[in-house]
Structure 1
Amino acid sequence: MLIPLLGIAQEINSPDGDLHLKFKLVNGKPQYQLNFKGNPVIKPSFLGLELKNIPSMVEGFEVEKTEKQTVDTSWNPVWGEEKVIRNHYNELLVTLYQPEYYRNIRIRFRLFNDGLGFRYEFPRQENLSYFVIEEEKTQFRLSGNHKIFWIPGDYDTNEYPYTTSKISEIPGLQEEATIEITAQSPIENPSVQTPSMMKSDDGLYINIHEAALQNYPAMQLDVNAKDFLLTSHLVPDAVGNKGYIQTGAHSPWRTIVVSDDARDILSSRLILNLNDPTNYEDVSWIHPMKYMGVWWEYFVTGKSTWAYAKETNTKLEEDPTNLTPSGRHGANTEHVKEYIDFAAENGFDAVLVEGWNIGWEDWIGNWKEEVFDFVTPYPDYDVEEVNKYAHSKGVEIIMHHETGASATNYERRLDTAFRFMDKYGYDAVKTGYVGQIVPRGEHHDGQWMVNHYIHVAREAADHEIMVNSHEAVRPTGLHRTYPNWIAQESARGTEFEAMAGLAPEHATILPFTRLMGGPMDYTPGIFQLDLSAYGNDDHNVNTTLAKQLAYYVTMYSPLQMAADLPENYKKYPDAFQFIKDVAVDWDQSFILEAEPGDYVTIARKAKNKKEWYVGGITDENARTAEISFDFLPKGEKYIATIYADGKDAGWNTNQHSYSIKKVVVDSKSRLKQKLAPGGGVAISVKEGSKEEQKGLKRI
């Protein structure tokens, strides 16, 4: 006999006791609240889902049963910011019953020391097999008018610049924040995207996002600015539905990372822990790497382009030899060999070649389906010769699959494209989804496309291929489950420095927002910061050269690009040395200083090496970074090479001014390092003999 637990609160604490979760039914409606050290993080907030054409799952519930457990394990990622990750949480599983409709739903809560994850679970049951979600009604009722770092809600792009404001100010700023971007679908009512980073007036840091996004649309957040209430808003499909569910399934996790120390937000692994382990039997072929590419020159020089021909109305089945060469095609055999030579000379793993394949003359803005075939090169690009040459130099070629957002075309051709890669020895591909999605009416962040991205990752794994996706849905920790999904863009990256410029604070916000879900292919390393050198007098790259170096540590990715032209690196060989040296895979990471929108300083230990790298960046304000080297082994001395801003450097003046010095450091060393406005510092720490240390200053 069912004895309903009406009105009885269910409570759990985090393992360290700082976080407290309370769940209860209020007039049959599920409600939760979250406190940190006795103070409210999420005030009482309702949960549930509206369903299409059948009764909702928002009220009329009884608590059928509750279950609790504690888990404390550790696991080893294939690659990442740490070699070992601890997974420690207390769990509350609540089974709810709707007696009027004889239906069940479960809500599973996991409370970690650094936050909360919860999801809806839809068990198989006699009276519910399939349903359509009209809207998810998850609430996050905040305790005050927090400062928030946000981009406007949009179904198709995350490439907006960040706005910093109070929650109450979002409605008045929404129109200004929604700048024009290719293939955007902004939400009309006030809304923001996740990860959403906030700071309360009393110094509490709160990050809301999601984990393990599979077979479900991405979550946006509607904003009730008056009541400081955020409510889930799922991305619809072409006919307006939010999700198609067959019972025996569950939603993604809704995540709330919280601390009174901003450094804890960046060191959180909660989102990763909420993803399933990989079931790949062999992961030996997955490897982090540094690369260069025929890419940046298209944005800044004006001398080369992706397209081979002068024609602008082409069809995929046309013979490319009948096209009229423009003379500006960048991906030609001899030019790519120049990049290969430079990569080989400087120890880079790979070269990305964009624009090698037919279709670039007529690929964007036409909602076109038959865009690229992913196997036919332009007449001036010899695939076999380039690959043979690259392999003779010990360099890989990274494949490029721009889909023009025609996902249907890509899926039809995917097996052929991957077999083409197998033939020529490619083991990594950069995918792109610029434009309006085909099937028409679908969105980049809807359920159909979420499943598409995962389908591509799975198919790639069958061919032992790594995937770096651009213009895809923002990451939610799925690189634990699909470790060959090695990087994503999914935010405003370096390419925008060539188009409109990025605010100096931009890169101090991204670690607290976009990077919470996974690594970003930010494409750093621009050395020619004055774009007037290419005839662009509108703006420059808004950083110092030293800050570009620091990005290799602060903007985490196992796939790091040296994005500038080879000739620009030759101008600054001593600074380029840091990019050559810096690791891309790590044993440990140490968040030394952090404040969203202001500054970030991170140290990392290279995987299986006695080498450490430090990166520190600031916003438009100069500051003094205080760097402790207590992450070093006690009793051992090392040589630190410090790449710092010059005395007169700044993001808008003397950007190329920098200094390099070597000092001796140990675990007791402390460094106060000036960062210029919009500047940074990069430090490599390596072993050195007593002879090498002789004469160097000790700090």
Structure 2
Amino acid sequence: MLYGQSVKHSVTITSPDKKLKIAVNESDDNVVYSFTANGQQLIKPSVIGLDSVGKFHWLQSSLNHVKQTWKPVWGKRAAVPDEYDEVLIDGAAYKIRIRVYNDGFAFKYEGANAEKELSQFNFADNYTAWYYNGENKNIGPEKLKDANGIRMPVMTIRADSNHYMAIHEASLESGEPLLLKSNQGTTNFTVASKRAKAWRVVLFGSTPGKMVDSHLIELLNPEPAKGLDFSWVKPGVAVWDWRINGAEAKGFKYDMSLPSWKRMVDFAAGNNINTLVLDADWYGPEFNKDSDPLKGGKIEQVHQLLNYAQAKGIGIWLYLNDVGGKTYPLDQTIKQYGQWGAVGVKYGFMNGSPEEKNKHTQVITKLCAENKLLVDFHDGPVHPYGQMRTWPNAVTREYCHSQLDAHRVFQPSTFVTAVYVNMLAGPLDMDNGVVDMIQKGRVDNPTPVPSTITAEAARTLIVFSGTTIIPDIPENYLKHPQILKFISAEQMPWKESKTISGEIGEYIVMARKSSDYKWLIAAATNENARTLSIPLSILDKGEYKATIIEDGKDADFRTNKESYAVSTLTVSYGQKITVHLAPGGGACVLLEKTK
């Protein structure tokens, strides 16, 4: 409680494993909560409530325990425990609902239309934090007291080596997307955005990787409406026509037209890759209002491509700019794309306020679902907040600094920060997986990639996405058959995922089990070289052939990007694999069961 105020009512809610505790008290002037993990207070008494026309009067509270299982259409794993303890506090003017899971807690307000909420996050000490920063590198590491002004979620916090938190929101039905305001010189953050109908979420993990593996954000969203069938949703790897533009191989020059598209389809069909993404300008200049998304540009070539790809079992994504989406009837456009046989819509450059963009995003997602189309939002999208549970066709979005995008190139430390910040919100379209590390001749940003070829392959597995879009041409992948085999083995939906180890801004090691029961492990580091010992405790019983791709001894993201070595081992559960990561480098391990 706040100093000098008497407690009228109180309730304590613990996580199912009893390691997390939320204490809620009604004082003379307000309601406050505090958060303790493993006996250590991480959030001091903080105000919770609304600036409502009716004062909150604690009438009663009721406790509830829920234990069930969510089986997503696709996701990080095939089955997700959904267990929590919940309290509903009736305050006459409105109600406060709080849920506590083993990996965090969330609260929301019900039954009031106040414009302003009073929610605070008053951290117990001057912790270190990182924040989403649009299509730029993340803000941080930054001490809480040094933060000044508005910060965007996800806000990831390191209290100490055993206590990590992240602030975000879930199930944003309406209102302005979450913004946080720091009170400079203090450890107190408040909600700066206008009143929204959403959950306020605090993720918790004893390591940052445990937050990466969490499903709390999705679990706070409702299941799909009854009668909606999403069995047609097929996640997987995709090739892309934007970054191939200008590349040359064996006398052929790639561009964004039918001959290049057919080559990409042929490559996809031969390498267990699901789809091809067509990017901007296929129906005319994307920002021109005269570009008709149903009749303009290369429409005849697209129709030929759709027929060609369908015969090969490859799906085609179609790009749609906000100008075309709003100048022409959106429902007709999306319906037509579905009837043509497209598999997805990549929607770019949405305009409007954050609140307007969220509403329009919901409309597009619903229209795509009704027409059996996947959807990917690019260019400053509304942050993910667990939509993939309600709308499994919402497979990814560019809620990150996309690699080599818009003439900005991120550094190795950018990647190993974003996976612990942006990726906590949901699936990301980061476009990793370059194999031509020089990118000479490309029309868009022909800049050398500040990474190693091994790290590029590793990133395709590490980044969680329902559509993993790889950016290079077939001939370049075919030069590196072991790397191509690793990427092709990323068959979704994942049976299981686990972040084995890592630290924010330093490195990450990720393991995923494919739909055909292969295990894949990938590691990536920042600008520092490191040697990692990876325990194989994720494996099932039996023996596995491990194909290990690691940076060469002379590899370096600044000077020697393409040096790598391939080796094989026979391994089993409980053993360890040691890999070398060059500066800016990575490692990939493909584990195929033999016994």
Q: TM-score, normalised by structure 2?
A: 0.92
The aligned runs of 1:616-655 (5 Å cut-off) are: 616-634=523-541, 636-655=542-561
Matched residue, 1:295: 242
Matched residue, 2:152: 193
Residues 576 and 44 (structure 1), Cα distance of their counterparts in 2 relative to 1, 3 Å cut: same
- What is the one-letter code of the residue matched to 2:234? H
1:413 aligns to 2:319 (yes or no):
no
1:346 aligns to 2:255 (yes or no):
no
Q: 1:491 aligns with which of 382, 390, 400?
A: 400
Measure how far apart 1:532 and its partner are. 5.2
- What is the one-letter code of the residue matched to 1:191? I
Measure how far apart 1:110 and its partner are. 0.3
Which of 1 and 2 has greater Rg?
1
Cα-to-partner distance string for 1:594-621 (whole Å, 9 max, x where unaligned) = 21111111111112x3311001111111
1:147 aligns to 2:128 (yes or no):
yes
Cα-to-partner distance string for 1:345-383 (whole Å, 9 max, x where unaligned) = 3332221122354441644xxxxxx46432123158523
Q: 1:478 aligns with which of 368, 378, 387?
A: 387
Measure how far apart 1:329 and its partner are. 10
Partner SS for 1:421: helix
- Alpha-carbon separation, structure 1, partners of 2:371 and 2:488: 29
- Alpha-carbon separation, structure 2, partners of 1:373 and 1:538: 30
Matched residue, 2:46: 45
1:675 aligns to 2:581 (yes or no):
yes
1:232 aligns to 2:208 (yes or no):
no
1:113 aligns to 2:96 (yes or no):
no
- What is the one-letter code of the residue matched to 1:37? N
Contact 1:560 1:584 in 2 (8 A): no
- What is the one-letter code of the residue matched to 2:584? G
Cα-to-partner distance string for 1:152-176 (whole Å, 9 max, x where unaligned) = 5xxxxx21211323335645xxxxx
- Alpha-carbon separation, structure 2, partners of 1:72 and 1:120: 23
Contact 1:584 1:606 in 2 (8 A): yes
- Alpha-carbon separation, structure 2, partners of 1:675 and 1:383: 42
1:122 aligns to 2:111 (yes or no):
yes
Residues 534 and 481 (structure 1), Cα distance of their counterparts in 2 relative to 1, 3 Å cut: closer
1:403 aligns to 2:322 (yes or no):
yes
Measure how far apart 1:394 and its partner are. 2.3
Q: 1:337 aligns with which of 254, 259, 262?
A: 262
Q: 1:136 aligns with which of 117, 120, 141?
A: 117
Matched residue, 1:664: 570
Q: 1:273 aligns with which of 219, 228, 233?
A: 219
Partner SS for 1:460: helix
Matched residue, 1:74: 69
Measure how far apart 1:216 and its partner are. 2.0
Q: 1:426 aligns with which of 325, 342, 349?
A: 342
Q: 1:91 aligns with which of 61, 75, 86?
A: 86
Residues 169 and 533 (structure 1), Cα distance of their counterparts in 2 relative to 1, 3 Å cut: farther
Partner SS for 1:683: strand
Residues 466 and 534 (structure 1), Cα distance of their counterparts in 2 relative to 1, 3 Å cut: closer
Residues 198 and 418 (structure 1), Cα distance of their counterparts in 2 relative to 1, 3 Å cut: same
Measure how far apart 1:390 and its partner are. 1.7
Matched residue, 1:212: 171
Q: CA RMSD in A?
A: 2.5
Matched residue, 1:324: none
- Unaligned stretches of 5+ in structure 2? 1-5
- Alpha-carbon separation, structure 2, partners of 1:148 and 1:82: 28
- Alpha-carbon separation, structure 2, partners of 1:470 and 1:544: 26
Contact 1:333 1:381 in 2 (8 A): no
Cα-to-partner distance string for 1:292-336 (whole Å, 9 max, x where unaligned) = 1211135x7699xxxxxxxxxxxxxxxxxxxxxxxx993322232
Matched residue, 1:101: none
Cα-to-partner distance string for 1:655-692 (whole Å, 9 max, x where unaligned) = 11111111111002211211111111111111237xxx
- Alpha-carbon separation, structure 1, partners of 2:217 and 2:390: 12
Contact 2:239 2:275 in 1 (8 A): yes
- Alpha-carbon separation, structure 1, partners of 2:312 and 2:126: 57
- Alpha-carbon separation, structure 2, partners of 1:419 and 1:90: 42
Contact 2:552 2:563 in 1 (8 A): yes
Q: TM-score, normalised by structure 1?
A: 0.79
Cα-to-partner distance string for 1:3-39 (whole Å, 9 max, x where unaligned) = xx96222111111111111111222312111111221
Contact 1:170 1:190 in 2 (8 A): no
Matched residue, 2:3: none
Partner SS for 1:81: coil
Contact 2:14 2:20 in 1 (8 A): yes
Residues 433 and 371 (structure 1), Cα distance of their counterparts in 2 relative to 1, 3 Å cut: farther
Measure how far apart 1:259 and its partner are. 2.6
- What is the one-letter code of the residue matched to 2:396? A
Partner SS for 1:252: strand
- What is the one-letter code of the residue matched to 2:357? M
Cα-to-partner distance string for 1:39-75 (whole Å, 9 max, x where unaligned) = 1111111123346xxx4x6xx4320111101111112
- Alpha-carbon separation, structure 1, partners of 2:274 and 2:497: 23
Residues 168 and 480 (structure 1), Cα distance of their counterparts in 2 relative to 1, 3 Å cut: closer
Contact 1:6 1:62 in 2 (8 A): no
Measure how far apart 1:396 and its partner are. 1.8
Contact 2:550 2:581 in 1 (8 A): yes
Contact 2:369 2:393 in 1 (8 A): yes
- Alpha-carbon separation, structure 1, partners of 2:417 and 2:265: 34
Q: 2:417 aligns with which of 485, 492, 509?
A: 509
Partner SS for 2:165: strand
Cα-to-partner distance string for 1:615-662 (whole Å, 9 max, x where unaligned) = 11111111122211121122x101011111111112212111111111
| Count, aligned residues | 585
Partner SS for 1:251: strand
Measure how far apart 1:538 and its partner are. 9.1
Residues 650 and 535 (structure 1), Cα distance of their counterparts in 2 relative to 1, 3 Å cut: farther
Partner SS for 2:485: helix
- What is the one-letter code of the residue matched to 1:490? Y
The aligned runs of 1:340-489 (5 Å cut-off) are: 340-360=265-285, 362-363=287-288, 370=289, 372-379=291-298, 381-404=300-323, 408-409=326-327, 413-433=329-349, 437=351, 442-443=352-353, 445-446=354-355, 448-471=356-379, 472-489=381-398
Matched residue, 2:519: 612
Matched residue, 1:29: 30
- What is the one-letter code of the residue matched to 1:265? M
Residues 505 and 118 (structure 1), Cα distance of their counterparts in 2 relative to 1, 3 Å cut: same
Q: Aligned residues: percent identity?
A: 26
- What is the one-letter code of the residue matched to 2:61? T
Q: 1:283 aligns with which of 230, 237, 247?
A: 230
Contact 1:545 1:655 in 2 (8 A): yes
